[in-house]
Every structure is written in C-alpha cells, then in structure tokens.
Amino acid sequence: MMAIRLNPDLVPDLLAAVQQSQQNMTTATQQLSTGKKVNQLSDDPAAVAQLVENHNQSSQDDQFLTNLSGLQGKFQVADSTMSNVVTVLTRAISLGTEGANGTLSTSDQQAIGAEVQGLLSQMVSLGNTTYQGTYIFAGTAVTTQPFAQDPNTLAVAYNGNSNTTSVQLSNGNSINSGVPGDQLFQNASGSVFGALQDLYNSLESGTGIDTAVTEVQDALNSISTQRVFYGNALNQISMSENFLNQDTVNLSSQENDLVGVDAATAASNLAQAQTAYESQLAATAKVLNLPNLLSFLQ
C-alpha cells in the first residue's frame, strides 16, 4: 500500500497560491487596460531590449521625415523659380532675335532694350527668392540677400557663398541642401546676369546683338543643366519618404508583435485567475476555521 504524505500546515501553501492568483489577475488586468503584454522590464527583458531599438529607429525615421518635409518645400519653390528663370531667358532670346532684325530703327531697338532691362531686374528678384524667411540661392549664407544690382551700371554682384550642406534623408542616404546662386546664375559656361546685361547694352548701341543672343542661349542651356539637380532631388525625396513611411508601418507592426496582447486571451486569463483566487480564498478560509488537520480530513 502506497504511503500518503500529508502536509500538516496547508496555510502557507494556500496563501502563496492566493498571492499568485492575485498577481495573475493584476497582470491580466494591466494587459487589458494597456493593450500590451509587456509593461515592465521583468515581463520580457529580450522583448524590452528589442522595443528600445525599435523606438530609436522610429525616432530616427520621424527626424528624417521632418528633414524631408522642409527640404521638399524648399526644392519645390526652387524648381518653380528655375521654371520662371527659363521663361525670362526664353523671352530675352525672342526679344534679342527681334532686335537683331536689320529693319528696326534705333529707337525700336532701344525700346526692346528697355524690356530686356526689365527682364534683368526680374531675374535679380528671382535670384533673391526666399523660403520660410531664408534665401534659397545664397549658399549657406541663408540670411544674406544673395544678389544686388548696381542701378547705374546694371551689374549684378553676388553676396552669398559657394557652400552647401548635406541633409540626411535616411540611414546612409543624404543630399545637398541646394545649388549656390553663383553656380546657377553666374556660371562660367553661361552667366544669366552677364548675358542679359550684354543683350541690353547691345540693343542700346545697336551692335553685337547676335552675339549677345548667343550668350543668353548659353545661359539658358546652363540653367537647364543646373535645374536637373532639383528634379532629381525631388524624386529622391519622394522615394525616401515612401521608404520611411513604410518603415514606420513595419516598426509599428513589429512593436505590436513584441508587446501587443490578444484581448480575448487576456480576458480569459483574467477570468481564470479570478476563479482560482476565489476558490483559494474559500479553501484558505475553511482551513483557518478548522481546529486541526484531522478535522479538515473528516
């Protein structure tokens, strides 16, 4: 016959079981209220470590998206400005071609020259375009007005610098903050301001108009080449934005896998813990009300 070992003191075990059931109820209740199965480090240290890494990556993505937003707006304004620059230069070429017509009188040529002078002033304004209170084409000297025109000679001076900064779009992916104004408007392969000034002077004097028109055409070609930067940059920003938004979705999904709780499971665990708790309380009360173990067994 197998010997049966009886525990002469059930109270400590019952109290321990009651405490465990209380803890189970607390855990299930917390999971239901927070929607998370991991609410403190001791719940799952490995998951918490992964969650910290997840949050760090999410914060980086948020910063990258902020960078993208500001840069995208700036580049859109810059690209629109370049479109207007092309329009002005195209008009100047048309005027110069008209002015080179040998049948025009001197006064007619000078009248055309006056319109070219207006285009030159308009170009200076385009070169001084701002975005959110800073000059787009001043290099890194964004608070300095880049272009100033001498009212007497019509010569245009550049007061910005030739520097650029690098803006990070995502991990390992960066882009220049823009194209400096001297590179855009005073490029050696075609100076926008110099060409327009020469066209104006040639129309005023009636000589060298064809040569000046060629200069303006060279400036237009140079601008068209430089403008490619903004088109490419906007495409790069768009691709980076799509990647970061998808990464944000992925990180959120990963976080839910790491710490998210199934509500039905948590509710079932809570019900089981409550049932066990109530049963253990009843058993403990019964034992505490008995004089000895033999009475409990009878």
Global model pTM greater than 0.85:
no
Beta partners for residue 294, in sequence order: none
Pairing of strands 190-191, 186-187: antiparallel
Look at 34-48, 82-96, 203-217 and tell me which has the smallest mean pLDDT.
34-48
Non-local CB neighbours of 198 within 8 Å, separated by 6+ positions: 208, 211, 212, 215
Q: Which domains does the chain have, with CATH numbers?
A: 55-247 (1.20.1330.10)
Write out pLDDT tens, residues 158-186. Answer: 999 999 998 888 777 888 989 999 999 99
Give the tokens for residue 94. 């048309």
H/E run at residue 173? strand 173-176
- Give the C-alpha distances (Å, rounded to integers) separating 183 from 82, 116, 146, 197: 13, 22, 12, 18
Instruction: Output the DSSP codes for 199-220.
Output: HHHHHHHTSSHHHHHHHHHHHH
Write out pLDDT tens, residues 204-263. Answer: 999 999 999 999 999 999 999 999 999 999 999 888 888 888 878 887 777 666 665 655
